[in-house]
Structure formats: structure tokens, C-alpha cells
Chain A
Amino acid sequence: MSAPDPSSDTRIPVTILTGFLGSGKTTVLNRLLRQPSLAGAAVIVNEFGAVGLDHLLIEASEEQFTLLDNGCVCCTVRGDLVATLKELDRKSSVGETPPLSQVIIETTGLADPAPILHTLMAEAELTARFRIGGVVTTVDAVNGAATLHRHSEAAKQVAVADRLLITKTDLVSNEVLGGLQHRLAHLAPTVEQTVARNGEVELDLLKSLPADAAADVTRIAARLEAADHHDHECGADCHHGHDHHRDTHHGIRSFSFIIDKPVEWAAFARWLDYVAALKGEDLLRFKGIVRTTEEPEQPLVLHGVQHVFHPPARLDRWPSHDRRTRLVFIVRDIERETIARTLVKFAAIDAASIAGPALAAA
């Protein structure tokens, strides 16, 4: 069960483009689709309410396009999404459409991206042909802060993102933009933020998404480390205030663990079962690279969205010299202490071998 080498992974990446109502998803999509590198991309649009209005704005050729018009992604899309992706794959395989290089799913503004990720992770029919390309979340610079404050759905879209794209930045001052970026960094400290000006988007936005799961964990652990370290340095005088952010972020926060000693996989898997059973709903995103006692030189890569976990993939070798287990959590209303305590109690992990990046850095 080695993970496919990303360069040889021929599966079609599926990118989820999400973002709150009016945050500029459609504009971004239009710009992206004009780029030659996206020839062979299919777009699945999910509409909420009035069917097909947004889709008329998208300048794309017909065959690139599939519209799901059954309403909200969060509750009803699963079966349709499976069928749509299979149909796209079939059409391109038999030559009815050009070869499929990439799929972009544009969600409704209110959508929770998690069920789409679940579908992509858990449907055996899909996992052979498609892989998750990542979640790109648009946040509009004008209304973003207010939207995040008011709508937990928006905060969740940001929390589960792999990439944040801030739109409409030309309409706000640098100060306002800076404030929003600061806020997003608290909500999603592991995620890279990209600023779009005048609707222009980097050409490689989709390409830069994490195809390599191991590198991804390493990268986000490092980012989290930096973020935690920053907070750590901030100290007692720092009044930008965690409580304030907690209130406005709907309890969403992130933290990570580094575990020095190898992990007993059976016990760890049991812990995963428990955490999924009791805290699944609030475990927005979980990523990990694990050094197991059984095969310490071939790390396991873990990826979970709420209660659904990817089958763990074993790598042939560690991606870097750092061979410690690293776990990254993006959660809602789960205390770091709860995770630490239960890891010790149920995953047979020695309390002394657990550290957070902040502690490790101190």
C-alpha cells in the first residue's frame, strides 16, 4: 500500500473551489478557464436555489461543463457527484470529450466542502481514477471579515482550505487587507494565502496544491510550528487576544503534535476510531505522518476530514531527515489537551514523547 509517487500518479486531480456567497468564485473560475494549461479541465458547478444562473456567466465551452442542479452540495450531492465524475471519465475515455486532465468543482456559497471530500475519499469507484487536488477557498476582502464573523459555514470553508485566495483586494486599503490576512492566519495557520488583484489569479494556483501528501504534512507542520512559535513569542502582553479570535472563529483552531517515539499502529488506529466516533463532526481536517513500531522507516500518511479517513498510505521512505511522527489538527471546539490526553490513554503513546511545536521550539 505504498502511496503513489506524485510524479507518477496519473489519477485526475479534483479541485474544490469554494467560498462564501459573493466572494468571487465564479470570476476566479472564469479567469482560470481561460488559461491554456486548463485545456482538458472539466467543471462541475453546484447551484443552490435558482438553477444555472451563475453558470451562464462562465465563459467555457459546453463540453467542459457539467451542471449539478439538485441543490445544496452539503446534503444531496454525493450520489450525483459520483455519477457525474464517472460520466466525465467515461466520456473522455471513449473519446466523446477531450482527455480529462483536471476537474474543478465549484460549490455553492453555503456549501460545506467536507461531504465532497468524503465522497472523493471514500468512494471506491472514484479513488482509482481521481485524487483530491485540494480545496481552494475564496475570501472577499471587502466583506470577508464580517462574513467570517457571522457565518460558521464561511469559517469552516476557510478552516478546511489548502489554499486561500483573497479576492476584491483592489477595493480595500492595505490595512483592511492586512487585518483580514491576520485573521485568516489565525483561522488557518497552515494555509498559504494568495492575493488576487483585479480578478487576476496566478497561473499555477491549481498546480501548487499539495499532490504529495507527505510533503504536505511536513509543510503544514512547519507552518504551524512557525505560527505557534509566533504566538509563543507574543507572550502575555499580546492583546490581539486569543479569546477574541476564538469568539469570532466559531471555536475553530489548529494545533499539532510531534511524537518522538515510534507509534504502535494498532493502538493508534483504535484511537483514530474513537476520535472519529466521538469528535468526528468537529475534526475538520486531520493530517499526519506516522512512524510506526512495525515499519519505522516507511512512514504512514494519514488524512481525515471529519469522521472520514483516507486509507493510510505507506511511503517507501521518509521525505526528510526528520523522522518523527507529526500530527496536525484543524478542529472546532476540541481542546488540544483532550487530544493529548486521549493519545496517551488509548493510543499507547508515552506522555513524555509528545510535544507541540511550540514546546519543541522553546
Chain B
Amino acid sequence: MPDRNADLVFTNGRIYTLDRKRPWASAVAVKGGRIIVVGEGADVAALMGPATRVVDLKGAMMMPGIVDVHAHLMMGGQAELFELRFPPTASFETLIARVGEAAAKAPEGSWIIGGQWGSDLLPKLNRLEALAALDRVSHGRLVMLRDDTYHNRWVNSEALGLAGLSASSPDPKKGSIGRDPATGALTGMMIESAAGIVERTIAQSGHYTEEMDRAAMARSIATLNSYGVTAFLDAAAMQPILAALKGLDDRGELTAWSVSAMPAVEPSFMFGIAGEELIALREQYRGVHAKPDFVKIFLDGVPGARTAAFHEPYTKDPVLGCCFRGSTIVTVPELIRWIGKCEKLGLGVKIHCAGDAAVSQALDAIDVARSFNGPTKLKHHIAHASYIAPDDIARFAELGVVADLSPFLWYPTSFLEGHKQTMGEARALRFWPNKDLLAAGALLAGGSDWPVMPNPDPWDGIEGLVTRRNPSGEFPGASLWPEQAIDIATALEIFTINSARAVGLADTVGSIEIGKSADLIVLDRNVLETPAKDLADTKVLTTWFEGRVVYERA
């Protein structure tokens, strides 16, 4: 007779299920990684056999694992595991010294990749003297150092040589190669798209092995697990990311559900094949927990750099003049074509829209797709649903578009200060109309955009959604558009069941219900009774993924 007993039983918990039909329970039973009972102690008692692991929660709060609707996983893990780290405040001398220490230990012919130098150092580094200093400490190793904007690189002469660059090399489109004004000799500075030349050289040199990619991805996922995240959408999944996720999944080492958005065009910060070529490979990267089900389209830039597309002009600028509104980088017909193509392939589209005009265009394009194609089960995302024209609020729900709330900027931050400079204070403050979207019936899903935000801790975001004040204590007393604050119960939905719906995993994750994956987190407090200002202090004690412990707080 088959063993009917549970593998795992939780008792005496304050279990918040995120299932509106049964919000609270005290016991949960798990078998084969799936939840088989949600109820009280008596309901699970009969399922306890000799091999059943019983966890007494002793009154602790348990809830479903967090679903992060927008993160970039590989880069953080790579930096942590394999790169030379120094702060953007590091001086030129420190930087050279750190490279020297690393070079002394590095094997011959290897790369030293590091970051991130402050972009204020750029003029100093972009000189032959600086390159000579870098070359002196490199001991013939290949060196590439990224800046704090992730747009520019500084490399040594060995790296220039491997990339086949010399004084006669032309500048690439949308980028430039640093040169000495007198002699034209290269300085090693690679600006904007020129950075891609070196990044591609590194990729082709075989520096990043598949093992390294998997290790970096696993490290990033372990970081997410420590904050209670058990499912995520990678918002710009290039081929090495897809391969790493599939590789981990095949080895049984993937400790979160992963959904991937494949870029329609090569992003400015990642390199390799994109668009149809990448999308065509998606089935070979599909695994039980690895789902390449989205395409990412960047429609505009960011408000702080005046590259986001707005209906109203930016503040006056010496170069751009009085009336610059930014522009979208994909036309509406192109966007429609992409949406049509993706819908045919059964893929959702995540559209980066930082300005309100980009949001309007994305909604317009989705409106056209709905008008021609009729209703769909696919979810398209507008990321980041932050500056939205009032008339567009209701369209999210009407068109079934997910409002991707990421990164955690719904409280005063240095980003907001930048926006005030470029947009004027009044407009800058009309940021994240979360409550209006909610009232209009939109599906709001929470995400970190890590490592754009240096810390993917969802509890920081959740506190911010509730208070609209900066949880770190920066900007004391200041709040951002406090009328748009939402309650804690809604914030929890946004980071669990709503995100699960948004990424197409609502049948599997996002709530504690029979049949769903046993992705469960135990918290150090009942967050529904915690003062709002303390929510960000919440600590995850244990994270369970499919009934296995994948994180335990030391």
C-alpha cells in the first residue's frame, strides 16, 4: 500500500495563506513538494507517519514565498563571486593598487574584471598616463573595470590587444573609444557601445564558463531565497542566463521558480544574441522550474538621464533646449508587430516604460493587439508603472495589462531628487499612483529590479508601499505622494499571488493552497500586526522551496 503520510507537516503556525477564501490556518501538510492539506492541527494529525518531518512553528507567522516580478540575476552573482569589488568612491590610487593585488594572484592569461569606479574618475582614467599605470600593475593579465553607471569600461593594453583594437580602429555607432588628443593612441576607455566590444571579447575568450554562470546564478538565487523569494522573473535573460537556469534545474539545484524575459534587442548592459534568434532557442532552455515565457522590450530610458519619454517636456537643458520630451526607441507599429509575434508564440511581453508617454504608447499597442486578436490569457507587463497619465490608469485593467511595480522607488530616494531636477518638483512627485491603479482594478505585481536597487529585500519594498516613506531613514519626515499608500494586506498580495498571476504561475505558487508548490517562508514577526514603519525590519527565518529548506537564518 502506498505511503499516504505527509513528508512534512507544519503545526501551531499563524499561517497567512494569501488565499482569500481561507486567509488563515494553523497547520499545513506537504507531500512530494506539494501542499496537500491546509487547516488546523487535527487536519494534519492523521497524515503524520514515522517518516513525516514535523515542524512546530510555535506561533510564528508563515506565508507563501515571495514572487519577484522583475530582477536581473546573473550580474549580482558574478560580481560577488568572480570580480574585484571596490566602491565608486575609491580613488585612482586605490583602484590601481587593488588591480595590482589581484594581478599578482591571478593565473597567466586570465581576466581581472572589476567594478565599479565612480564616473567622476572618467577624465582622469581617459589618459595615456593612467593607462600606463594600469599596465604596470597588470603583470600581463587582461583587465576590464566597469564604472558605476554600467555604461562604460576601462581596460588595459592587453585587453585592447585581445579585442583587436588599435589607434586606427574606428569608433562604434553610439559609442566612442578613448584616445589621446595629441597622438590618437588609445587610453583604454570604452564609452557606451564601445563597452560591448570588450564585453563580447571576454565572452568569446571563454572567460565565463558554464560552471561560472551556474555558480553566479545559484549565488544570486541564494540571496533571493534569504529574503523569502521563491519565484522570480529575470527581466533580461540572455543566452548564458537561460543556459544557467536550465543547467541548475536539470541538476536539481534551482531553488526558485524562474520565468525569463528574453530581450527583443540586445540591451545596453548585456551582450550576445537577442530577439528572434534567442527566442527560437527557448524550448531547449525550458525545464520543470525554468520557463522562458516572456520577451523584454525597452521602450524608453530613465527620467534622470532625460531618456524616458514623457507627454510634457523636461526642464530646460543647455543641450536639449526647452522642449525636449524624450522619445521612445521602438515605434508603435514595431511594438505591435512584436506583441503580435509574441502572442502567436504564446509569450508575454514585458515593456520597459519609464515615462508616461512610453506607458501610453505601450497601452496603445496592446489595445491594437486586443482589438485584432481578441482576449488572451497571456499577461503583458508595463515595467515600470511609475509615471502614468491620469487617463491611462483605467486602461491597465481594461486591457488586462500588469502594472510591474519595480524597483522600490515609491518613497523619497536619490532617484526622485534626480527626477525633480529634470522634470520639476510637482511632476516628479506624481510618481507611482499605486492606489489609483488598484482602485481601477489593475493587477499590481511587485518586483525589485535588483541590482538596480542594490538590495532585493522585498520587505523594504513592502514597507514603502504602505508608508510611502524611505525605510532606511534617509529623507526623514519626507513622503512621496502619501495618498497613494496601500494597506499591508494588499502589499502582501502584490508580492505573492499577484506576481504569481503576472508571471503565469498562479496555479503553482503565490498562495498556500492544496496542490500548490510548498514554497513557504517563516517570518520573525506577524507582519499584519507590525507597525508599518518596522515592516522593513522583517527577517525571514526559514525559506522552503518545494518542501525543502533552501535558507535558514543563522
Contacts and interface: CB of A to CB of B under 8 A. Distances in A.
Contacts of B340: 277-278
A274 B337 CA distance: 8
A342 B371 contact: yes
Nearest to A307: B337
Contacts of A341: 371
A31 interface: no
B500 interface: no
A346 B370 CA distance: 12
Contacts of A338: 371-372, 374
B333 interface: yes
Contact of A275 (B339, B372, B374): B372
Nearest to B337: A277
Nearest to A281: B344
A67 B409 CA distance: 65
Interface string B350-372: 00000000000000000011011
B371 A277 contact: no
A341 B367 CA distance: 13
Interface in B369-403: 369, 371-374
B297 to A, nearest CB: 14
A346 B336 contact: no
Contacts of B373: 278
Contacts of B374: 338
A279 B333 contact: no
Q: How large is the interface on A (under 10, 10 to 19, 20 to 34, 35 or more residues)?
A: 10 to 19
Nearest to B374: A338
Contacts, number: 31
A358 to B, nearest CB: 23
Interface string A267-302: 000000111011100000000000000000000000
Nearest to B338: A277
A258 B336 CA distance: 27
A274 B336 CA distance: 7
Contacts of A274: 333, 336, 368, 372
Contacts of A279: 372
Contacts of B333: 273-274, 277
B366 to A, nearest CB: 11
A345 interface: yes
A277 B336 CA distance: 7
B362 to A, nearest CB: 15
A338 B375 CA distance: 12
A257 to B, nearest CB: 16
Contacts of B336: 273-274, 277-278
A345 B339 CA distance: 19
A268 to B, nearest CB: 14
A346 B337 contact: no
Contacts of A273: 333, 336
Interface in B325-342: 333, 336-337, 339-340
A275 B337 CA distance: 10
B114 to A, nearest CB: 44
Interface in B497-536: none
A346 B371 CA distance: 9
B156 to A, nearest CB: 45
Contacts of A277: 333, 336-337, 340, 368
A98 B238 CA distance: 57
A152 to B, nearest CB: 16
B54 to A, nearest CB: 55
A301 B516 CA distance: 58
Interface string B480-500: 000000000000000000000
A267 B301 CA distance: 29
A338 to B, nearest CB: 6
A106 B90 CA distance: 72
Nearest to B367: A345
Nearest to B333: A273
Nearest to A279: B372
Nearest to A344: B371
Contacts of B369: 278
Nearest to A274: B368
Contacts of B339: 278
B372 to A, nearest CB: 4
Contacts of A345: 371
Of residues B339, B368, B373, which shows the largest number of chain A Cβ atoms within 10 Å of its Cβ? Answer: B368
Nearest to A275: B372
A29 to B, nearest CB: 37
Nearest to A273: B333
Nearest to B344: A281
A346 B372 CA distance: 11
A333 B271 CA distance: 39
A279 B374 CA distance: 12
Contacts of B337: 277-278
Interface in B302-343: 333, 336-337, 339-340
A278 B368 CA distance: 9
Contacts of B368: 274, 277-278, 342, 346
Nearest to A339: B372
B195 to A, nearest CB: 33
B409 to A, nearest CB: 33
Nearest to A334: B372
Nearest to A270: B333
Contacts of B371: 338, 341-342, 345-346
A290 B373 CA distance: 25
A189 to B, nearest CB: 24
A25 B85 CA distance: 72
A341 B371 CA distance: 8
Interface in B268-288: none
B410 to A, nearest CB: 34
Of residues A274, A341, A345, which shows the largest number of chain B Cβ atoms within 10 Å of its Cβ? Answer: A274
A346 B373 CA distance: 14
A338 B369 CA distance: 11
A157 B266 CA distance: 39
A266 to B, nearest CB: 14
A342 B369 CA distance: 10
A338 B373 CA distance: 8
Contacts of A346: 368, 371
A274 B333 CA distance: 7
A277 B369 CA distance: 9
Interface string A78-122: 000000000000000000000000000000000000000000000
A155 to B, nearest CB: 20
Interface string A237-272: 000000000000000000000000000000000000
Of residues A273, A277, A279, which shows the largest number of chain B Cβ atoms within 10 Å of its Cβ? Answer: A277
A16 to B, nearest CB: 27
A151 B368 CA distance: 32
A278 B333 CA distance: 9
Contacts of B372: 274-275, 278-279, 338, 342
B140 to A, nearest CB: 49
Of residues B333, B336, B371, B372, which shows the largest number of chain A Cβ atoms within 10 Å of its Cβ? Answer: B372
A237 B373 CA distance: 32
A345 B337 CA distance: 18
B376 to A, nearest CB: 12
A345 B340 CA distance: 18
Given A338-B372, A346-B371, 15 more contacts: A273-B333, A273-B336, A274-B336, A274-B372, A275-B372, A277-B336, A277-B368, A278-B337, A278-B339, A278-B368, A278-B373, A338-B374, A342-B368, A342-B371, A342-B372
Interface of A: 273-275, 277-279, 338, 341-342, 345-346
20 contacts: A274-B336, A274-B372, A275-B372, A277-B333, A277-B336, A277-B337, A277-B340, A277-B368, A278-B336, A278-B340, A278-B369, A279-B372, A338-B372, A338-B374, A341-B371, A342-B368, A342-B372, A345-B371, A346-B368, A346-B371
Interface of B: 333, 336-337, 339-340, 368-369, 371-374
The 5 closest A-B pairs by CB, nearest first: A278-B340, A278-B372, A277-B337, A277-B336, A273-B333
